[in-house]
Amino acid sequence: MKELITLSYKCDCKECIIRNLFFKHLKEEEIDTLCKSKVEKFLKEGQTILKEEIHNTYLAYLKSGLVKYYTEHKNGKNHIITIVKPYESVSLLSIFNNTNLSYNISALEDSILCLIPLKIIKEFIFTNSEFSFDYINSVTTIANRIIERFLTLNIKNLKGRIAFVLLEFADEIYKSDSFKLPITRREIGEMIGMTTENVIRTLSEFHKEKLIKITGKEVTIIEKEKLRKISLFG
Amino acid sequence: MKELITLSYKCDCKECIIRNLFFKHLKEEEIDTLCKSKVEKFLKEGQTILKEEIHNTYLAYLKSGLVKYYTEHKNGKNHIITIVKPYESVSLLSIFNNTNLSYNISALEDSILCLIPLKIIKEFIFTNSEFSFDYINSVTTIANRIIERFLTLNIKNLKGRIAFVLLEFADEIYKSDSFKLPITRREIGEMIGMTTENVIRTLSEFHKEKLIKITGKEVTIIEKEKLRKISLFG
DNA sequence: CGCGGCTTTGATGTTCATCAAGTAAAGTGG
DNA sequence: CCACTTTACTTGATGAACATCAAAGCCGCG
């Protein structure tokens, strides 16, 4: 019995990692190395990891749940950079270099983070060129997406921003036009640079105009095409 | 005589590249390869290269001069992402992956771009792991800087933004508190998300308050510490 | 039950974009 | 080199968009 369990043991990274972009070219033995050195960290909803705790030590990776990746400013105003879904990296950008801003991670649902020692990543970069290439592609893609998002948001008015973020939730995070908001109204504001009050006002307007149905955190998008137009031209 | 010239020929990349971050670990023969396959492109002040012209073919690199890296929106509004100094990369972020936004390059002074075929870069990534590592560091550093800049600007008011951009010119581009603006007032607006009129108004205010001296494009920063405070808290 | 955080609505004020109109500077063609 | 056109710069007036302030209801939690 005991032996059976031992025999049936296999590294779960093999399954997990397949789904990922930049680990696809790791060899069997490399995945074993990865698997042995990785640390899984369970985060309860609401729990936060300050950047310093993992910075310069681990590459953080979301295995399950949902987390936000955000900065804190001295004046108490936060800015949510992105909401991270499973199988996405949380700390790609700041790896291997210091930055002044602290990017923190906070769980929006119970989540499991996979922490991979940077030492191992660095090793792979030096020994597996296909990995390096995949890694570079991932980094540039993520960076581009974040920058594009900033540029896009910057030219939108409040209605456009709310429409934009609703479509983000529907199309990118939940793949459904009905979903439960994982964040507060204030946090929506922190995602798109507007005040809590105006987030609420705009959501209410959309509700009254029957573009969406929103009660508490439950959202249903009704007039998706109109919303898309508002997002695009607003 | 002729032979002498031939003998004294050496690849100028060897000198040029030393100064650079992510080419420092290329071997002699790799630099030769690089040198032979690179293309230099002269850009006259005001001349523009549309993204499509180099996208997916070259890594662009500024050898001398000054260029802006910007996006065009349908509504005619542009957004300057960054001003690029010599020995900085112009197209790092979009390399190896497609993006919808078109990032164009336009010369603010007569400039020389060094275009390196992506094929070569890719080759180096696959054959020189130290290069890969340096490259990853560069990409993440650049991405971080751009993102930090967006976050920083977003929470500033108009005065804070103008102060910020003036300090950028002084400290990062010209390394001097006296300089000639390489761009128009409209373009300053495109760098920090404000209208031409308000750029002018704010610059005039700073002039009246004797924080700076500005006549035409000539700028001298007088009260640097005050400007810093405005940038920080504005 | 009461406290704190979230949500909501209305009233008020500020910041900033827009509009207008004129001057200066720079490029263009005869 | 001068008239002509265009682009850049400047200032003031107006209005819209948005933040801020205030007050109250709601909900979950110790």
Measured over the CA atoms of residue B170, residue B174, residue B178 and residue B182, the dihedral's sign is negative
User: Tell me, what DSSP letter sits at residue B85?
Assistant: P
End-to-end CA distance of chain B: 64
How many CA atoms within 13 Å lie on the side-chain side of A132? 26
Residue with minimal CA–C1' distance to C19 is B197
β partners of residue B88: none
The bases of strand C with some atom under 7 A from any protein CB are 6-11, 15-20, 25-26
Stretch A31-53: mean pLDDT: 87
Question: Residue type at A170?
Answer: A
pLDDT at B21: 65
More confident residue, B95 or A112: A112
Contacts of A122 in chain B (CB under 8 A): 133
Residue with tokens 């950008």, as numbered in its chain: A93
User: What is chain B's length?
Assistant: 234
Judging contacts by C-beta atoms under 8 Å, the chain A residues touching residue B133 are 122, 125-126, 132
**To the nearest whole percent, how much of chain B has pLDDT over 90?**
56
Query: Which residue of A136, A142, A146 to mutate against B (max B Cβ within 10 Å)?
Result: A136
pLDDT greater at residue B30 or residue B12: B30
Distance separating alpha carbons of residues B193 and A132, to the nearest angstrom: 36
Q: Which residue has the higher pLDDT, A153 or B77?
A: A153
* Distance of alpha carbon A138 from alpha carbon A152, whole angstroms: 21
Report residue A108 as tokens. 């929006």
pLDDT in tens, A118-168: 899 999 999 999 999 988 888 888 888 999 999 999 999 999 999 999 999
| Cβ < 7 Å from strand C, A residues 70-89 | none
pTM summary value: 0.90
Q: Which residue of B has its CA nearest to A96?
A: B137
Asked if the Cβ–Cβ distance from B136 to A132 is below 8 Å, we say yes
The confidence score (pLDDT) of residue A5 equals: 38
The 8-class DSSP code of residue B92 comes to: G
Q: Tell me if A123 sits within 8 A of B79, measured CB to CB.
A: no
Interior CA angle at A169 toward A77 and A228, to 5°?
105
Q: What is the mean pLDDT of chain B?
A: 87
According to DSSP, residue B88 is labeled S
Residue B97, pLDDT > 80, answer no
What's the rounded Cα separation, in Å, for the pair B188 and B194?
Answer: 8
B108: tokens are 């603010």
Residues B62 and B88: their CA atoms lie apart, in Å, by: 6
Torsion of CA B140, B145, B150, B152, to 10 degrees: 130
The integer distance in angstroms from the CA atom of B232 to the C1' atom of C24 is 34
- For the record, the structure tokens of A227 come out as 């919303």
- Decide: helix, strand or coil at residue B136: helix
What integer pLDDT is reported at residue B7 of this predicted model? 40
Q: How many CA atoms lie within 13 A of A228 on its CB side?
A: 7
Return d(Cα A43, Cα A105) in angstroms, integer.
10
Number of A–B residue contacts, CB under 8 Å: 111
Give B112 to chain A, closest Cα distance, Å: 25
A157 CB and strand C closer than 7 A: no
Residue B95 has what pLDDT?
63
Instruction: Give dist(CA B31, CA B87) in Å, integer.
Output: 16
Measured in whole angstroms, the distance separating CA B79 from the mean position of its chain's CA atoms is 14
- Could you tell me which chain B residue has the CA closest to the CA of A100? B148
Range with top average pLDDT, A209-218, B36-45, B91-100? A209-218
CB of B222 lies under 7 Å from some atom of strand C = no
8 A C-beta contact, residue B45 and residue B105: no
How does pLDDT run across B14-53, given as a tens digit for each residue?
A: 777 766 767 888 888 898 888 888 889 999 999 998 877 7
Cβ <8 Å between A139 and B140: yes
pLDDT at residue B59, as a whole number: 87
Q: Which of B79, B165, B84, B92 is nearest to A148 (CA)?
A: B79
State the Cα angle at B94 between B90 and B96, rounded to 5°: 120
Where b means 16+ CB within 10 Å and e means fewer, B175-207 reads eebebebbbebebbbbbbbbeeeebeebbeebe
The residue whose CA lies nearest the C1' of nucleotide C6 is: A184
- DSSP H helices, B75-195, are 118-127, 129-154, 158-167, 185-192
List phi, psi (to 5°) of B83: -100, 130
Please, which pLDDT band fits residue B74 given cuts at 50, 70 and 90? confident
CB A82 within 8 A of CB A69: yes
What tokens does B56 get? 């997916």
- The verdict on a CB contact (< 8 Å) between A140 and B96 is yes
- Identity of the amino acid at B167: L
Residue A1 has pLDDT above 50, yes or no: no
